[in-house]
Structure 1
Amino acid sequence: MLILVIPVLLIFFIVPLSISSIHLVGITAFFIAWLANFKIFLFALGRGPLSPSPKPLSLPVFLAVSCLPIKIQLSPKPPTSQSNGDSRQGPLSYTIKAALLVLVTVVNDYYRNLPENAVLTLYAIHIYLALELILAATAALVRAMSNLELEPQFDKPYLATSLQDFWGRRWNLMVTGILRPTVYEPTVQLFSVLGRDWSRGLAVFGTFVVSGLMHQLIFFYIGRLKPDWKVMWFFLINGIFTTLEIAVKKSVSGRWSIPAGVARVLTIGFVLVMTLWLFMPEFKRCNIFDRAIEDYAYIGAVAVRTRKSMTASLFGLTM
């Protein structure tokens, strides 16, 4: 079965190379070259259906669910749920995030007057907001087409109380969900002879290694530049500290703990420092944000031309 899908995997790896738009190449690299390929790989190994939905799906929805890294929430929560994992935060929340994204984008021309770390911090906020909105739009599209609810992709990462909590339960859960069966679980089984603690520690670190490699590949698609491996080091360092954190928590076995407020500050502070030091400079090196502004300008120009064309057509019909 795996031999039969190899051509599909290769095509999915090649597709992002034919795209120039910064937004489209980023989305295609993330959804198709990485997550969809991993999902198809699991299917080829007999480790899960392409569509786990308990009810029949229309052809367009089935194709979307089977080809894209979309995971349906099999036990949807009631609409009134206010839990952290609720995938529907409400229109007000997304409106505020959209407004903040527009604001961050509009003030892009003034970034050059700010210190570099302040600029990189604004870029990080830009990325988080953009990811939230893109994934929410994907969920809304599937919901409108099929009345199915997608599992949430973010769970308030700014409330994380540990690196394990941040990476495993709150940040980009779509990636976590695909790395667990493709990397973590096989690694635990492979090194089970070393004992439970060692096999799990190696599995956690191995998961970060694979994630780092795939992120490095995405940046190659975007920038078409020779890797400087800073992004890889970002994930290696986070993998080392997350593995050590898990080991320390297990050794103290609940005998003492850091207050939640302090733990949140330490966790987000560590992630932010690592992000500004190793992750965000790659965005600057690939000139991602200037290219993103060009995309926005092009979309705006197309919208203006379309509106003028529609107005002219309507005016012609009324004459």
Structure 2
Amino acid sequence: MEEQENGEIKALIKVWFKVLISFIYTYFIVSKLPKGKIRLISLLPVFSVFTILPYSLSTPTTAGLTGFFITWLANFKLILFSFNLGPLTHDLPSKSFFNFILIAAFPIKIKKIGKDPFTPTQKLPLSLPLKVLIYSLIIIAGYFSNYNKSLHPNVLLGVYCCIVYLNLEIVMGVCNKIVGSILGLELSPPFDEPYLSTSLQDFWGRRWNLMVSDVLRYTVYFPVRAFWENHIGKRWAQVVATMAAFVVSGLMHELLFFYITRASPTWEVTCFFLLHGLCLVIEIGLKRGLGFGELHWALAGPLTVGFVMVTGFWLFFPQFVRNKIDVRSLEEVNAVCRFLKGMLP
């Protein structure tokens, strides 16, 4: 076991060394090329390398986070960079290589001055340390009680919803704290209390994984909408662009699941995002076309979060459970505990 853990650490070091080399090439060579197709074509080797990297990692955490940080977010940021758009062009506090790496490699977004038009109104702030405590208690309870065998399957899936959310929130929140301190800048939060969402539009566009929402907005939604507006009109172009963003999100999640499980895709995750994209389009249509107003948050909140959880039980988590990612993740926690224990005097 110890030999396997050491092998994974070495593999992770090699992966991030390749990431560093790719960013050196991008910063010192590609950035000097004219923006547009020439710069995009010159980045094809980087896109290929970033897509292959998670294959050399064997644990769910290392493969999943590398796939999320690099294969998905970094590649999409570089696509925008090809056209002098996105965070690698506009959000850098300075043009230094070090700042370029920080913005490119981590899921962060520099907070813009002024009020964000997408800021939700309902608030129930939970601090990052409190979320870490809750996450730790859930993991410890699972370790000692073996809840994957003792809990009802539906209750277990509810626990998995909490774990997935808290895991992402904590990892991205820690990145925010560290990178924000290094840059000396205030960064936008990675999530905005998605458990208080009052509609699917609120959940996906304003509260859940805001870094991904922002990247998809600029790489998929806006270009697709702009292209189709001249062909089918603004309203239908928005529908096509919304569905395109959810399709891309679904496919990227399928890729991340493949990195983690190494099992052939079943396309359930893509169906999850297609369903939510379709329901979001219907929701917006009801509000705009038929004049449906907003439901009171006390009713809309449970309906929204309940719909996300139920559809997650149905389509998102089955691959997670079938491939025993929960068991493997607990084994990783144990490995980290052993590593930390070994470092103590």
Q: Same fold (TM over 0.5)?
A: yes
Alpha-carbon distance between aligned partners in 1 of 2:304 and 2:135, rounded to the nearest angstrom: 24
Which of 47, 59, 62 pairs up with 1:24? Answer: 62
1:80-115 Cα deviation digits (max 9, x unpaired): xxx869xxx6xx722221121112112221331111
Q: Say if 2:40 is the partner of 1:39.
A: no
Which of 128, 135, 140 pairs up with 1:106? Answer: 140
CA drift at 1:53: 3.7
Report if aligned partners of 2:87, 2:103 keep a CA contact under 8 Å in 1: no
CA drift at 1:70: 2.6
What does 1:156-175 align with in structure 2 at a 5 Å threshold? 156-175=193-212
Residues 1:16 and 1:95: Cα distance change in structure 2 (over 3 Å): same
Alpha-carbon distance between aligned partners in 2 of 1:200 and 1:148, rounded to the nearest angstrom: 34
CA drift at 1:169: 0.7
- Aligned partner of 2:23 in structure 1 is none
- Aligned partner of 2:127 in structure 1 is 93
Which of 213, 220, 227 pairs up with 2:251? Answer: 213
- Aligned partner of 2:110 in structure 1 is 72
1:190-215 Cα deviation digits (max 9, x unpaired): 21121111000111111111100000
Alpha-carbon distance between aligned partners in 2 of 1:99 and 1:69, rounded to the nearest angstrom: 22
Residues 1:182 and 1:53: Cα distance change in structure 2 (over 3 Å): closer
RMSD of equivalent CA atoms: 1.9
CA drift at 1:60: 2.9
Report if aligned partners of 1:38, 1:178 keep a CA contact under 8 Å in 2: yes
Which of 143, 151, 174 pairs up with 1:137? Answer: 174
- Aligned partner of 1:56 in structure 2 is 94
- Aligned partner of 1:225 in structure 2 is 263
List gaps (5 residues or longer) in structure 1: 78-82, 312-319
Report if aligned partners of 2:107, 2:211 keep a CA contact under 8 Å in 1: yes
Alpha-carbon distance between aligned partners in 2 of 1:243 and 1:205, rounded to the nearest angstrom: 8
SS at match of 2:166: helix
Alpha-carbon distance between aligned partners in 2 of 1:241 and 1:53, rounded to the nearest angstrom: 33
Report if aligned partners of 2:120, 2:202 keep a CA contact under 8 Å in 1: no
Alpha-carbon distance between aligned partners in 2 of 1:214 and 1:177, rounded to the nearest angstrom: 15
Alpha-carbon distance between aligned partners in 1 of 2:160 and 2:241, rounded to the nearest angstrom: 31
CA drift at 1:252: 2.5
Mean CA deviation greater in 61-70 or 210-219: 61-70
- Aligned partner of 1:149 in structure 2 is 186
Report if aligned partners of 1:84, 1:156 keep a CA contact under 8 Å in 2: no
Residues 1:291 and 1:264: Cα distance change in structure 2 (over 3 Å): same
Mean CA deviation greater in 10-19 or 294-303: 294-303
- Aligned partner of 2:312 in structure 1 is 275
Alpha-carbon distance between aligned partners in 1 of 2:112 and 2:200, rounded to the nearest angstrom: 28
The one-letter code matched in structure 1 to 2:41 is I
- Aligned partner of 1:202 in structure 2 is 240
Report if aligned partners of 2:120, 2:206 keep a CA contact under 8 Å in 1: no
Q: Say if 2:45 is the partner of 1:7.
A: yes
Q: Say if 2:177 is the partner of 1:177.
A: no
Residues 1:84 and 1:41: Cα distance change in structure 2 (over 3 Å): same
Which of 222, 231, 239 pairs up with 2:277? Answer: 239
Alpha-carbon distance between aligned partners in 2 of 1:292 and 1:282, rounded to the nearest angstrom: 14
Give the TM-score normalised by structure 1: 0.88
Q: Say if 2:338 is the partner of 1:298.
A: no
Alpha-carbon distance between aligned partners in 2 of 1:39 and 1:110, rounded to the nearest angstrom: 39
Report if aligned partners of 2:81, 2:89 keep a CA contact under 8 Å in 1: no
Report if aligned partners of 1:162, 1:263 keep a CA contact under 8 Å in 2: yes
SS at match of 2:256: helix
Report if aligned partners of 1:76, 1:149 keep a CA contact under 8 Å in 2: no
CA drift at 1:258: 2.2
List gaps (5 residues or longer) in structure 2: 1-38
Alpha-carbon distance between aligned partners in 2 of 1:76 and 1:299, rounded to the nearest angstrom: 41
1:114-161 Cα deviation digits (max 9, x unpaired): 111111110111111111111110011112212112111111111111
The one-letter code matched in structure 2 to 1:35 is L
Report if aligned partners of 1:158, 1:268 keep a CA contact under 8 Å in 2: yes
